[in-house]
Amino acid sequence: MTIPVSITVNGRRYDREVEPRLLLVHFIRDVLGLTGTKVGCDTSQCGSCTILLDGVSAKACTCLAVQADGASVTTIEGLAGDSELHPLQESFWNKHGLQCGYCTPGMILASHELLRCNADPSAEEIRHGLEGNMCRCTGYQNIVRAVRDAAETMQGGTS
Amino acid sequence: MSASTFGSGIRRREDPRLITGSASYTDDITLPGTLHAALLRSPYAHARINGIDTSQAASAQGVVAVYIGADTEGEIAPSPCAWLLPDSGLTIADYHCVARDTVRYVGDIVAVVVAETRHEAYDALDLIEVDYDPLDAVVEPKKAAADGAPQLHAEIAGNQAFHWTVTGGGDIDEAFSQADVVVKETIIQQRLIPNAMEPRATLASYTAATGELTVWNTTQNPHILRFLSSLVIGVPEDRLRVIAPEVGGGFGSKIAAYPADFITMFCSKKLGAPVKWVESRSENYQATTHGRDHVQEIELAATADGKIKGLRATVWAGMGAYLSTAAPGIPTILHGLMLSGVYDIPAIHEDVYGLYTNTTPVEAYRGAGRPEATFMVERLVDLLAAKLGLDPAEVRRRNFIPKFDDGHDVVTGLTYDSGNYDGALSKLLAEADYQQLRAEQAEARKNGRYIGLGLSTYVEICGLGPSQVAGAIGFQGGLWESAIVRFHPSGKVHVMIGASPHGQGEETTFAQIIAGELGVSPDDVKVIHGDTDNTPMGWGTYGSRTTAVGGAALALAARKIRDKAKVIAAHLLEAAVEDMDYDDGKFFVKGSPDSSKTIQDIALMANVAWNMPEGVEAGLEATTFYDPPNFVFPYGAHLAVVEVDAESGNVELKRYVAVDDCGPQINPVIVEGQVHGGIVQGIGQALWEEGVYDDDGQLLTGTMLDYALPRADRLPDIEVHSTVTPSPHHPLGVKGIGEAGTIASTAAVYNAVIDALAPLGVEAVNMPLTPERVWRSIQAAQGRN
């Protein structure tokens, strides 16, 4: 059995027939071929699959594609929009906020949510805000620096 | 810009593709017609297989093939162990990629389904009926060695994979019989699960018409995987191409060649179609290699004034159900030979028993043997300090190997390259303001607060290593690295390396090496790695060896280029070669800096070859094979400051200060990142992480819900400092830094917690130091249990 869905991803509408059990993350990766969104676990712990669902962060492994019918999704590929890089991407690069890069798309989108809710977070607030995203490489310290740096840039009005 | 680029913290060139989602990891690659494999894994830790019925699965929707062990006979050889530890009675049990008649750990592969989609493959797994007869299991290494323990392999007595010893220096029994003081401890180095964020995956594509097999795999060492796969699958090495695309962390767990990889290759070969297998995280917990798992009985002999006279240990190392690719060398060579640590220890003896247990195979995990050695030594030194009523820093100082810059022999047979251990400790104590911290600790104790300071002074062996040594210690490969440097006509550079970085940033640091050696901008250098068809042979990225060995190969290749370019420049400037000078990408006649050619000028001339010196070949390219004369030995001193809540047992890590010495730093920002990540993994072992099996061999920590990985909100900012002691034998003086943090930090945090608990009478707590364990140990010490 398949069900029709219409999901807008990074500004483009996709009309597809999907199995009801298909996870949104598999819809994004396998059906649309947008592989920037990663799968790191099967228990919704790691946060690698974090995307924006109607502007709010969500773990795309905890959502069925059919639940996203009619919704608008932003993945890492679409975060910068018309710019070359979003300030968060720029800050992760500048502050060495990534090593292997696998957690990075989810980490950046979770950071996006953090800054949406708190535009000027302290280091401690950033650490709390990102506790749902796992990184095994960086020890988180440079991720915290990156988010802090992006907050300053974004408050400065450059984006 | 160019020469000064060596040593500057420039941004990584890897990052633009990673921060935009453009990078391709193995699971991101799909070929037309790709089929999907799923693996049925044993739910029992130990069982006989009476029969398997695959008929329903075979006829399920989308299923293309189902294979069991019998189908792979003669087609997939047993998964090989490639570290044949000599003089140890090593016994290697056959590791059938698909189990034949017995399963020996939860996760052992029983059957394979290949289907048109991943969902269909997993659906069909549920339709396979396996008739098991469960057998008794054993999961702890010391229990596996005991009389009457369940036996894993009929042909191997007492579950013993090997018994290895290291003996060095004076008479160890005499050292202990004549000692003024002896301190002892039993340590459980708990099992850890590496948890690289990217699960393992393989995509295999076989073309029958050419007999060629291309494999994309999440490996740290594609050339080794190609070599082993050719032996196991029977595709000749020249027809096998292994590609490590973007790889999402490894930490040792992506060194091994795995049964699942060979099975995927087999399926593609059988079916003549691309086949992809991607593990789930739960599968990763069950079947991707684990780390540590030692029981260590250790003791130290010393004089009344704290001078160490001898160290003796017996270790039972759990190897899991089968020996993984590099497994036997980890708890032995990389562990036992490091038992002198940073100290002058006149007599050392260790017995290591490697035991088969009904658990996931144990392999290298960040540090691989060295954290377990450092922990032993650093615990013993702290115990000695406590016994003698001395400050732990003072006992360390009384035993440090004095500063040396060109070789120091320790009794285990190694020659350390260079070190100034007292220098690192002194810097640490100054940066942390140790005396002030001790004063605050004393004050806090008066107020019923339990603050602890923990030191860890370490040295580690990395940059593996001389190939002659590799052969002598049974490693079934070389340990050199190679590099090709190729100048294109426009002056742009391609660098091809055999090593295979996967997050460590060598695309950037290697471009910086070229910039430093040849005066080009790092932006003009592309570093190519990870594809066996377009890179020279290399032995992989592990053991902190990529920069220490591969970086040396690269520097020497660049110097060959410089030598050739100088000859061409002399010819073009009509000067004698011996009259030429070089500085920062320019060749000029001595005393006439205006009469010069840039490296780019030479690259163009060498490529068009219109006017070459007599006897000089066209092209500007060099290849080197660098086989290091010795290992490198980074070192440092770390301090952890904790506060324990005696009511709840909770440990708060308040400060962490590190001084590391990896020689000159090519890119200090990347070094700092390696230090952060390494330290946090070691903190994870001390405080949170443990792979737990129940007595029946069921993995209780089988998901990220149950296995406590370090999270952002539980860590302080780490204070990173360094000293610089070049390696005397490395062309750039550099040492490795990838594992140093992990090697040091577990002991620092543990020592800090025990220091905090000292007033409460607690002398030891098994790791991880969870609130429950700490609380129970306090209760026990206070007679309240």
**Residue A112: which residues within 8 A CB-CB, separation 6 or more?**
A52, A57, A79, A86, A88
Domain-embedded: residue B125? yes
Domain-embedded: residue B150? no
Facing B197 at nearest CB: one of A96, A103, A127: A103
Give Cα B219 to chain centroid, integer Å. 12
Convert the pLDDT of each residue in B249-264 to its tens digit. 999 999 999 999 999 9
Do residue A98 and residue B704 have CB atoms under 8 angstroms apart?
no
State the CATH number of the domain containing residue A27.
Answer: 3.10.20.30
Do residue B705 and residue A89 have CB atoms under 8 angstroms apart?
no
**B240-243 and B160-169: which strand pairing?**
unpaired
Q: Is A33 left (phi over 0), alpha (psi -120 to 50) or beta?
A: left
Best mutation target, A9, A10, A79, A136, to test chain B (most B CBs within 10 A): A136
Best mutation target, B14, B197, B683, to test chain A (most A CBs within 10 A): B197
Query: What pLDDT is stored for residue B785 in this prediction?
Result: 57
Decide: B216 and B231 in contact? Cβ < 8 Å.
no
Convert the pLDDT of each residue in B689-720 to its tens digit. 999 999 999 999 999 999 999 999 999 999 99
Residues A74 and A91 in one domain: no
Do residue A38 and residue B18 have CB atoms under 8 angstroms apart?
no
State the CATH number of the domain containing residue B758.
Answer: 3.30.365.10
Listed residues B592, B626, B660: the one ending a domain: B626
Convert the pLDDT of each residue in B568-595 to its tens digit. 999 999 999 999 999 999 999 999 989 9
Do residue B25 and residue A103 have CB atoms under 8 angstroms apart?
no
Instruction: Please tell me the pTM assigned to this model.
Output: 0.98
**B620-626 and B450-459: which strand pairing?**
unpaired
In chain A, the number of structural domains is 2
ipTM above 0.95, yes or no: yes
Residue A17 is encoded by which pair of tokens?
């027939």
Report percent pLDDT > 90 for chain B: 98
Residues B514 and B579 in one domain: yes
Convert the pLDDT of each residue in B336-351 to its tens digit. 999 999 999 999 999 9
Coil, strand or helix: which one is B624? Answer: strand
Domain-embedded: residue B118? yes
What sign results for the dihedral spanned by CA atoms B638, B644, B648, B653? Answer: negative
- Identify the band that residue A158 occupies on the pLDDT scale cut at 50, 70 and 90: very low
Convert the pLDDT of each residue in B293-312 to its tens digit. 999 999 999 999 999 999 99
Instruction: For residue B28, count other CB atoms closer than 10 A to its CB.
Output: 20
Do residue B196 and residue A93 have CB atoms under 8 angstroms apart?
no
Listed residues B626, B644, B675: the one ending a domain: B626
Query: What pLDDT is stored for residue B2 in this prediction?
Result: 47
Q: How far is CA A37 from CA A24, A30, B16, B335, B512, in A?
A: 11, 11, 15, 39, 31
Residues B496 and B642 in one domain: no
Q: In angstroms, how far apart are the furthest CA atoms of chain B?
A: 90
Residues A74 and A7 in one domain: yes
Please give the average per-residue pLDDT across A47-62, as a whole number. 98
Decide: B311 and B378 in contact? Cβ < 8 Å.
no
Best mutation target, A94, A109, A141, A144, to test chain B (most B CBs within 10 A): A141
Among the listed residues A105, A143, A139, A99, the one whose alpha carbon sits nearest the alpha carbon of residue A123: A143
Query: What pLDDT is stored for residue B570 in this prediction?
Result: 97
Kindly tell me if the per-residue pLDDT of A159 is higher than 50. no
Query: What pLDDT is stored for residue A157 in this prediction?
Result: 58
Facing A100 at nearest CB: one of B17, B20, B197: B197
Among the listed residues A13, A39, A11, A12, the one whose alpha carbon sits nearest the alpha carbon of residue A24: A39
Q: Closest chain A residue to B9 measured between Cα atoms?
A: A96
Cβ-based contacts under 8 A for chains A and B = 172
Convert the pLDDT of each residue in B533-549 to its tens digit. 999 999 999 999 999 99
Residues B548 and B612 in one domain: yes
State the CATH number of the domain containing residue B262.
Answer: 3.90.1170.50
Report percent pLDDT > 70 for chain B: 99
Kindly tell me if the per-residue pLDDT of A116 is higher than 70. yes
Decide: B66 and B54 in contact? Cβ < 8 Å.
yes
Facing B12 at nearest CB: one of A48, A96, A141: A96
Domain-embedded: residue B273? yes
Q: How far is B685 from chain A (nearest CA, A)?
A: 13
Q: Which residues of B touch A110 (CB under 8 A)?
A: none
Q: Which residues pair with B351 in a beta bridge?
A: B165, B314
Listed residues A61, A78, A95: the one ending a domain: A78
Instruction: For residue B772, count other CB atoms closer than 10 A to its CB.
Output: 11
Residues A147 and A127 in one domain: yes
Q: How far is B290 from chain A (nearest CA, A)?
A: 15
Q: Closest chain B residue to A19 measured between Cα atoms?
A: B119
Listed residues A78, A104, A134: the one ending a domain: A78
Kindly tell me if the per-residue pLDDT of B3 is higher than 90. no
Among the listed residues B97, B88, B46, the one whose alpha carbon sits nearest the alpha carbon of residue B67: B97
DSSP letter for B632, please.
Answer: B
Do residue B249 and residue A142 have CB atoms under 8 angstroms apart?
no
Facing A102 at nearest CB: one of B17, B194, B248: B248
Residues B329 and B422 in one domain: yes
Residues A15 and A71 in one domain: yes
Residues A63 and A98 in one domain: no
What sign results for the dihedral spanned by CA atoms A9, B711, B27, B283? Answer: negative
Listed residues A78, A97, A116: the one ending a domain: A78
Do residue B18 and residue A21 have CB atoms under 8 angstroms apart?
no
Please give the average per-residue pLDDT across B244-248, as a whole number. 98
Kindly tell me if the per-residue pLDDT of B655 is higher than 70. yes
Residues B430 and B323 in one domain: yes
Decide: B389 and B379 in contact? Cβ < 8 Å.
no
What sign results for the dihedral spanned by CA atoms B19, B21, B24, B27? Answer: positive
Q: How far is A72 from chain B (nearest CA, A)?
A: 18
Decide: B496 and B511 in contact? Cβ < 8 Å.
no
Residue B441: phi, psi to the nearest 5? Answer: -60, -45
Give CA–CA dist B323/B306, Å, rounded: 40
Residues A121 and A60 in one domain: no
Give CA–CA dist B561/B485, Å, rounded: 8
Among the listed residues B541, B425, B415, B402, the one whose alpha carbon sits nearest the alpha carbon of residue B481: B541
Residues A126 and A99 in one domain: yes
In chain B, the number of structural domains is 3
Q: Which amino acid is at B595?
A: S
Facing B197 at nearest CB: one of A21, A36, A46: A46
Please give the average per-residue pLDDT across B419-439, as a whole number. 98
DSSP, residue by residue, B413-478: S-EE--B-HHHHHHHHHHHHTHHHHHHHHHHHHHTT-EEEEEEEEEE--BS---HHHHHHTTBSS-
Residues B508 and B587 in one domain: yes
DSSP letter for B706, please.
Answer: T
Residue keyed to tokens 């910068």: A80
Domain-embedded: residue B164? no
Please give the average per-residue pLDDT across B385-413, as a whole number. 98
Query: What pLDDT is stored for residue B334 in this prediction?
Result: 97
Domain range for A100: 87-155
Domain-embedded: residue B188? no
Q: Closest chain B residue to A22 measured between Cα atoms?
A: B119
Among the listed residues B425, B212, B192, B443, the one whose alpha carbon sits nearest the alpha carbon of residue B318: B192
Q: What is the 3-state secondary structure (H, E, C) of B723-745?
A: CCCCCCCCCCCCCCCCCHHHHHH
Do residue B197 and residue A40 have CB atoms under 8 angstroms apart?
yes
Residues B411 and B527 in one domain: no
Kindly tell me if the per-residue pLDDT of B1 is higher than 80. no
Facing B248 at nearest CB: one of A34, A36, A101: A101
Q: Closest chain B residue to A93 measured between Cα atoms?
A: B15
Do residue B712 and residue A21 have CB atoms under 8 angstroms apart?
no
pLDDT averaged over every residue in chain B: 97
Q: How far is A76 from chain B (nearest CA, A)?
A: 6
Kindly tell me if the per-residue pLDDT of B25 is higher than 80. yes
Domain range for B261: 31-135+197-249+254-287
Give CA–CA dist B785/B776, Å, rounded: 7
Residues A12 and A67 in one domain: yes
Do residue A40 and residue B673 have CB atoms under 8 angstroms apart?
no
Q: Which residues of A touch B711 (CB under 8 A)?
A: 131, 134, 140
pLDDT averaged over every residue in chain A: 96
Residues belonging to chain A: 159
State the CATH number of the domain containing residue A124.
Answer: 1.10.150.120
Residues B728 and B683 in one domain: yes
Residue B775 is encoded by which pair of tokens?
């609380």
Exposure pattern of B1-13 as b/e (b: 16+ CB <10 Å)?
ebeebbebbbebb
| Beta-strand runs (E) in A34-99 | 50-53, 56-59, 72-74
Query: What pLDDT is stored for residue B561 in this prediction?
Result: 98
Residues B652 and B776 in one domain: yes
**B201-207 and B212-217: which strand pairing?**
antiparallel
Sheet containing B586-589: order of strands? B580-583, B586-589, B592-598
Query: What pLDDT is stored for residue B331 in this prediction?
Result: 98
Q: Which residues pair with B112 in a beta bridge?
A: B39, B67
Convert the pLDDT of each residue in B110-165 to its tens digit. 999 999 999 999 999 999 999 999 999 999 999 999 999 999 999 999 999 999 99
Do residue B15 and residue A48 have CB atoms under 8 angstroms apart?
no
Best mutation target, A37, A61, A102, A135, to test chain B (most B CBs within 10 A): A102
Rounded to a whole number of angstroms, the distance between the first and last alpha carbons of chain A is 44
Residues B640 and B594 in one domain: no
Domain-embedded: residue B528? yes
Residues B616 and B708 in one domain: no
Residue B319 is encoded by which pair of tokens?
């190897």
Domain-embedded: residue B170? no
Residues B593 and B496 in one domain: yes
Q: How far is B635 from chain A (nearest CA, A)?
A: 20
Facing A137 at nearest CB: one of B15, B249, B280: B249
Do residue B20 and residue A77 have CB atoms under 8 angstroms apart?
yes
